Amino acid sequence: MVRRFTGYLAYRDPDERDPGNEMPEFGDRVDKDIFEQILEMDENDPDREFSKSLIFGFFKQAAETFGKIETALKEKNLHELSRLGHFLKGSSATLGFTKIKDSCQVIQEYGNRHDESAGDVPDVEVCLQKISAALAKAKVDTEELEILMNEYFQ
């Protein structure tokens, strides 16, 4: 069964409403095309166990990675910050979590001592400040998105 989205409601058939599948307003938090592809992996499972495990597994992974980023910030370990930013950027991009992906891109770039335009940033403290701000934003975006996903999957 292939799902398609019309407006904010998921439908199996254009004339058949599927109650319980109202899509929350994700705004620019989620790439809806990617999210739709993930939902399609559930096939005929009305409980959406596969996509639910992917989504909520990500939130657990993000919390653990945020903790590691905080440790690397305290240690001023730019290489580790770049590595962790890259790791979480990939996971969030795979799920279509655009705002989180963008913040992780900032963490990765400043960990490599580059700004958003790939220009060199020689001052380590500036890099750490930018990473700290990106981490704070990623945490807020993750919390907001987790609330929306809990609403959707309940």
d(Cα 42, Cα 55) in Å, to the nearest integer?
Answer: 12
Residue 78 token pair = 């730019």
- pTM for the whole thing? 0.82
Distance from the Cα of residue 34 to its chain's centroid:
12
**Residue ranges of domains in the chain:** 4-50, 56-150
We find that the CATH architecture of domain 56-150 is Up-down Bundle (1.20)
Handedness of CA 17, 31, 129, 73 (dihedral sign): positive
Mind listing the pLDDT tens digit for each residue in 40-62? 998 888 889 999 999 999 999 99
d(Cα 91, Cα 58) in Å, to the nearest integer?
Answer: 7
Mind listing the pLDDT tens digit for each residue in 74-121? 999 999 999 999 999 999 999 999 999 999 999 999 999 998 787 898
Phi first, then psi: what are they for 31, rounded to 5°? -80, 110
